[in-house]
Amino acid sequence: MKNENNLKRRVQLNKKIKKKSISKKRKFNKYFEKKCITNTNNTNIPISNKKSNKYSDDIKKSKGFSIVETKIVFNNFKVRNRSLFFIDHRRNKILNSTLKINTKKLFMMHTTTNIINQFKN
């Protein structure tokens, strides 16, 4: 009998823990999406860390932070997917400044580095 009761208790505890974790995630996601939407304009686009992306390596070097996956892409201020943001691992905080990086500036940076490399070769 004791074993059966213990098992029942464990199952109930597990259910409670699962429910709590889900609700916390939902709350965080809502807060996170709101924060992202407030920080964006049409010119400011979050940068994804795909291999095809030309700018991600340059930004990593300049900022000195690693990138962690949370997919968010902005289309007319509606959150469709989740994309990559810089995280300061020392403080475990997502840096809002990454949302404000202008893609035109990044493009200029990339072109200048290419030109310099051509002259070096």
| pLDDT digit string, tens, across residues 4-15 | 666 666 666 555
Q: Residue written as tokens 């920080």?
A: 39
**Does the reported pTM lie above 0.75?**
no
pLDDT tens for 57-86 read 555 444 444 444 333 444 333 333 333 444
Range of the domain at 41: 2-120
Domain count, the chain: 1
State which amino acid sits at residue 74.
F
- 46 Cβ neighbours under 8 A, 6+ residues apart: 36, 40, 72, 73, 74, 83, 84, 85, 98, 99
* pLDDT higher at 113 or 62: 113
> 100: number of CA atoms within 13 Å, CB side?
7
